[in-house]
Amino acid sequence: MKIFTVIGARPQFIKAAVVSRAFRELRPDVREILVHTGQHYDANMSDVFFDELEIPRPNHNLGIGGGTHGQNTGRMLEKLEELMLLERPDWVLVYGDTDSTLAGALAASKLHIRVAHVEAGLRSFNRRMPEEINRILTDHVSTLLFAPTDLAVSNLRNEGVSDEKISLVGDVMCDAAAFYKTRGRKPIWFDTLRLGIDEFVLCTMHRAENTDEPDRMRRIFQGLEKSGLPIILPLHPRTRAKLKQANLKLPSNVYGVDPVGYLEMIWLEAHCKLVATDSGGVQKEAYFNKKYCVTLREETEWVELVDAGLNELVGFDPQKIAEALQSERQFLSGTYLYGNGRSAEQIITRLLTIAGGEDATNRSVQD
């Protein structure tokens, strides 16, 4: 059987690393064709992840990135269709909610190739977010939907998706956290900042609804400044460019650094006081590292974290941001929200069950 995996952005590299490793260990007879669209083309946002996560180098690298959503998606569609016709896969596997996700799903569905969507059913209910459109459309053209949570399953059912298409498997990010937790790496620049362990806030910001709005971005930085806490901000290329475009300078208590690799990010998350972010993936990484999270958005697709009192939505209100960062909220240990760390195994079992018979698949995976 041949699996055609489409990836293009940091969160997808992490998720694909988990599932690709499981394929190699559990079913080496399955051939995986790895396609990198190039959506994250910066070496610090792409190459370093393949090295650190021990992902095989892509079979194909499309080199598509840097354009608008429409430009990127259209160019990816064209190139992915060509490759799918060449490779003739049994399944196309897509992750998350990026332009790469949507392009892979659309190209496959139009060629009548089965699509499996990992991290299906998430909804922020904010259709101004490009990611929300991407994940809704991807879910509705997919053959198999691998949902990370009960709420994701409910969202799909509420949209009329049949139960036969839905599999509750947990979150592959939980698998990744379990595998890589002891491999964190302190950034070489950390000691030069002279910050203590558990004394700094780790912040990330890259979403278009924040970075494309100069006033919103300005208000977020006002809140970070008002908190008075030392803040480490790995600067996503989008954020760096938008800061320059808006003629904004970082507050004196915000240390802007280059993007970090996954292993460095794990170390920073494990050793920070708390996390502030507009990233969906980093919200979960904070949870896996037992750190309270302040989310720089007005909604989140990871509602479970808010309901459990582990995440606070503050939007872009400077006062709310400052107060949330200054509060001494502690992480409250609770039940497992995102599975048992064996999501990749369940994904493989389900894929191969449909492809080749349930009994044979279960024996091969369990053995």
**Domain boundaries of the chain, sorted by first residue:** 2-171+339-366, 190-326
* Per-residue pLDDT tens digits for 200-259: 999 999 888 899 999 999 999 999 999 999 999 999 888 888 999 999 999 999 999 999
Q: Which residues pair with 232 in a beta bridge?
A: 202, 255
* Per-residue pLDDT tens digits for 286-314: 999 999 999 999 999 999 999 999 999 99
Provide the whole-model pTM.
0.87
* Per-residue pLDDT tens digits for 101-128: 999 999 999 999 999 999 999 999 999 8
Catalytic residue positions, numbered: 206
Nearest to 68, CA basis, from 236, 214, 212, 248 = 212
CB neighbour list of residue 327: distance below 8 Å, 6 or more residues apart = none
* In this structure, CATH architecture of domain 190-326: 3-Layer(aba) Sandwich (3.40)
Tokens standing for 1?
A: 């059987």
- CATH class of the domain whose range is 2-171+339-366: alpha beta
Question: What is the mean predicted confidence (pLDDT) over 76-101?
Answer: 97
Tokens standing for 185?
A: 């790496």
Nearest to 279, CA basis, from 304, 300, 264 = 300
Instruction: Return the C-alpha torsion angle 126, 177, 11, 53, nearest 10.
Output: 180
* Other Cβ atoms closer than 10 A to 82: 13
